[in-house]
Amino acid sequence: MNTDFLYNKAMGKIFINDNQLQDWVDASEEIKERFGIEKALGYLIGEKFYNLVGTLHAAQTMVRAIDDKRKEPEYNPISIARYNDREIITNFNDMYESRRELITEVKDLLGRFVVSIMEVYTPHAIRQYFESHPRLGVYGHVISDEQYEFLLEQGAIEHSLETEVEDALIFGDMLKYFGVS
């Protein structure tokens, strides 16, 4: 999964561009005109929406991991890792709080994104997209099956049991957000 969303703690938001969701919807309409609805929904839902849900999953996983660490009797919120001549200091309490804020913001964004998408695409078109069992992520809509298989064989795309399970969980959440069962 390519998570190209960075949480800017200082700004308290994921996107610098407040119109990012609408920009993606607008771009999908241009894609629809040039390449058809399947490519448009691949871009909008299969890539952009998928990445947001993936961001949510990653943040939730981190919060659960820190919760588990906090239960350990010798929990120390400060971790120091040494790499060559550098020290990397991690404050798990700060990380925990920033991920909880991220979770709240992403859930809000996902709700707003669904509304924006459904203003442009019909529930029927969205259902058909999901029922087509699309490949998710950036490669899902821009390369052929043969090209995708080649990249998998070359190790350019991570593919493991863990990535399959994570994609299935993300896909399940995507269905819920759109009310598709």
The mean pLDDT value for 92-98 works out to 94
Q: What are the start-end ranges of the H helices in 42-89?
A: 50-70
Q: Looking at the predicted structure, is the pLDDT value of residue 1 above 50?
A: no
Over residues 150-157, the mean pLDDT reads 92
Is 8 a residue whose pLDDT tops 60? Answer: no
Instruction: State the pLDDT at residue 12.
Output: 52
Tell which wins on pLDDT, 141 or 169.
169
For 27-43, letters b (16+ CB in 10 Å) and e give ebeebbeeeebbbbbbb
pLDDT tens digits, 24-69: 999 999 999 999 999 999 999 999 999 999 999 999 999 999 999 9
What local confidence, expressed as pLDDT, does residue 14 receive? 87
What residues have CB less than 8 Å from 31, skipping those under 6 apart? 39, 40, 43
